[in-house]
Amino acid sequence: MKPYVDNEGHALPYPWIINTMLMLVGGSQTCRLRFWSRKPRHTAEKTLRDILTLARNTEYGREHHFDRILSATSAEDLFRLYRMYVPVNENFETLRPYVEKHMHGEKDVLFPGKPDMYATTSGTTAAPKWIPMTHKYLKDVYGKMSHIWTWNFVKHRSRIFGGHIFTTVGKELEGYAPDGTIYGAVSGVLVRDIPPIIKKHYTAPACVMSISDYTARNYTLMRLAMQHRDVTLWATANPSTILELLRVAGEYRDDIIHDIEYGTLSEDFDIPDMIREELEAYMKPHPERAAELRAIVERTGKLEPKDFWPWLQYLSTWKCGNTKIYMDKYMDAFNWDKTFYQELGYIATECRFGFALDDSNESVLFPHFHYYEFVAEEDLDNPHKRFLQIDELELGKRYCAYVTTYSGLYRYNMNDLIEVGGFFRNTPTVHMISKVNGIVSMTGEKLYEPQFIEAVHQAEEQTGIKTKFFVGFADVVQSCYHFYYEFEDEKITQEQADAFTRVVDDKLQHINIEYESKRKSFRLGEPKAHILLSNAYARFKASCLKDGFRDGQFKFNLLMQDEKRRNKFNLIQRLENRFEQFSEGIIDRADKIDERRKERAKRRAARRANRRV
């Protein structure tokens, strides 16, 4: 059956006006992308010259001799001088002093003028990163890339804008910098600026994302979306978000159906009155739709998108790296004969690195919008790294990505391990493997996040025990790993979890020879198992959101060395685990106190002996 026809034979309308508009703006930008992708080295030179020319008279440009770099007469000389005069910014902290000058009202620091806004995200320190977004970057990079993205939807599903659009974005306005410049989510700003002809197709207004209670927000999103039978596009960065939204739809399905029938919004959720008032215009009684949803529940026993959204044309999320863990858990809930599932692309708060434009997971890079540099995986620990140009990348090899943007990031380490999977014209396409800090090494074992994921999956196959969620943490003090699991069978005992972890440990030793060496030499202790409460990831995420994180920031590693996050998971263990951990902690503290007493006694004895001498 055709994707735009439902089970009753009704077809989606063809959106002539929207498609024509997108063809004009998105089609022209796609042609430009194809043109500049033919000669990536030449394009890289042009882009770098344009960025440096724009910023040559800024404080950063003068300090780092942009004029001298621009005097280069060849691409090779330009790239060499840029590496010579501009240091690598391994993290945001080296750029923070310049950004803070902008935040306090200074102009022409990293770029001409001041930013239009800041996008905030978590950083390596307690202070968040404030990523400046200039007018040129928002208009000429983000805006034009969005035109290509939306036109790409139409190329795959021509009637996609004939129905409603369900998407989750960040808050456009979260606050103000000291000089009054707004900070918030770039995605929220982009949605704000979408033409009204498209915006009217959205299932929910932006105010929903301002609901602070996590469950209340998800409930509201699903209640507003499920009242529409003709949802055609579901786009959100994180597969985990989809998993949680579907869980809420299942858990509160009777409340959702009741609200849809009567045009209400349940009073059981903490939603501010101001937002409730704004949402009234989006909610009308739909008794026919409520009856349809009840019939689906009676027929199937559950509510899934393949049943309640028969015209769903497109699903767009991240699919690479560790996000596949969450994605795999809802694959049966969709009708893939009708719904096209596309990788969202390599996107971060700092930079829209690239988009996926076909049915592969490969992100097409935009060499005319960013200047890219790369370091080969095997060279990452080299104190004298060799930086490669975009045309020097090899198919199948892995690299760490660095980027220079029109928005004040210079040679900025994205801290992502990517792999070249193909080419768009002559420009490499890439897909995400993991964060570089997803590689943990306490004693030289260099354990990779994908290796940990593979080991857990192999243990599931061998034991028959299935997990809903898992995460691992390195413990440098005890020189061991802590593995936390949420099992599908909530009756799994600690003894079974320990046995499962021994299988994971064995698989890791077969996968990673360095890990095997460190385990056999006792430099690494036996990993410890912890059993999590149900909906562990949702609980963890809600805790982080309460602390000020945003939904779109959860490209969360499944293997890390992070005591702060580990402590959050310690709080959502099953009670017996927490009791055992507490007891072990008491014993450990008692042992340490006893050791200190013995040490003090030895020192006193030594002093007495010295006095006698």
Cβ within 8 Å of residue 38, ≥6 positions away: 425, 426
CA 307 → CA 90, 230, 249, 311, 424, distances in Å?
Answer: 47, 12, 13, 10, 36
**543-559 average pLDDT score:** 69
Per-residue pLDDT for 506 more than 90?
A: yes
Say if residue 424's pLDDT is above 90.
yes
Using 50, 70 and 90 to split pLDDT, how confident is the model at 537?
A: confident
3-state secondary structure (DSSP) of residue 268: coil
d(CA 238, CA 164): 20
Count the helix, strand and coil residues of the chain and give each as a percent rounded to the nearest 5. Answer: 50, 20, 35
Pick the closest to residue 282 from 214, 237, 364, 227 (CA basis). 227
Provide the strand spans (E) within 33-163. Answer: 117-121, 129-133
What confidence tens digit (pLDDT) does each residue in 444-486 have? Answer: 788 888 899 999 999 999 999 999 999 999 998 888 999 999 9
Express each pLDDT in 45-95 by its tens digit. 999 999 999 999 999 999 999 999 999 999 999 999 999 999 999 989 999
Confidence of residue 587 (pLDDT cuts 50, 70, 90): very low
For residue 152, what are the contacts with CB-CB under 8 A and spacing of at least 6? 26, 30, 355, 357
Query: For residue range 384-414, what is the model confidence (pLDDT) as tens digits?
Result: 999 999 999 999 999 999 999 999 999 999 9
State yes or no: pLDDT of 552 exceeds 60.
Answer: no
pLDDT in tens, 7-24: 778 888 899 999 999 999
Would you place residue 594 in the very low, low, confident or very high pLDDT band (cuts 50, 70, 90)? low
Count of C-beta atoms within a 10 Å radius of residue 284:
10
Give 231's strand partners: 164
Looking at residue 605, its pLDDT comes to 60
User: Are 220 and 265 contacting, i.e. CB atoms less than 8 angstroms apart?
Assistant: yes
Under DSSP, is residue 123 helix (H, G, I), strand (E, B) or coil? coil
Q: Does 586 score more than 50 pLDDT?
A: no
Asked if residue 440 lies in contact with residue 474, where contact means CB atoms within 8 angstroms, the answer is yes
Name residue, tokens 């198992």.
Answer: 529
In this structure, the number of other CB atoms found within 10 A of the CB of residue 473 comes to: 25
What tokens appear for 391 in the block?
């045309």
For residues 348 and 370, the answer to whether their CB atoms sit within 8 Å is no
What 8-state DSSP symbol labels residue 439?
Answer: E
Residue type, 418: I
As a whole number of angstroms, the distance between CA 521 and CA 513 comes to 12
Share of the chain above pLDDT 70, in %: 91
**What is the average pLDDT value for the chain, to the nearest integer?**
89
The lowest-confidence range among 24-38, 283-297, 441-455 is 441-455
Q: Residue 168 pLDDT > 70, yes or no? A: yes
C-alpha span between 261 and 246 (Å, rounded): 20
The C-alpha atoms of residue 471 and residue 163 are separated, in whole angstroms, by 38
| Proportion of the chain above pLDDT 90, given as a percent | 65
Q: Which of 57-71, 220-234, 483-497, 581-595 has the lowest mean pLDDT?
A: 581-595
Distance (Å) of CA 176 to CA 137, 172, 193, 195: 20, 11, 19, 26
Amino acid 31 reads: C
Q: How far apart, in whole angstroms, are the C-alpha atoms of residue 266 and residue 211?
A: 14
Mean pLDDT over 293-304 rounds to 96
Strand 164-167: give its sheet, edge to edge. 164-167, 231-235, 314-317, 340-343
**pLDDT computed for residue 7 by the predictor:** 76
Q: What's residue 550's pLDDT?
A: 60
Going from the C-alpha of 73 to that of each of 45, 48, 399, the distances in angstroms are: 11, 13, 28
pLDDT over 90 at 520, yes or no? no
Average pLDDT over residues 419-424: 96
Cβ distance 268 to 348 under 8 Å?
Answer: no
CA distances for 385 relative to 214, 217, 372, 375, angstroms:
43, 46, 15, 7
Average pLDDT of 339-346? 94
| Phi, psi (rounded to 5 degrees) for 470 | -155, 155
What is the predicted pLDDT for the residue at 383? 85
CA distance 69 to 354: 27
> In the predicted model, is pLDDT for residue 171 greater than 90?
no
Q: Rounded to whole angstroms, how far apart are CA atoms 37 and 365?
A: 8
- pLDDT interval class at 588 (50, 70, 90): low
**Position 206: which residue type?**
A
Whether residue 123 has pLDDT greater than 70: no
Residue 197 reports pLDDT greater than 90: no
Return the closest-CA partner of residue 133 out of 369, 401, 409. Answer: 409
State residue 553's pLDDT score: 53
pLDDT at 190 over 80: no
In the predicted model, is pLDDT for residue 585 greater than 60? Answer: no
Q: Are strands 182-184 and 314-317 parallel, antiparallel or unpaired?
A: unpaired
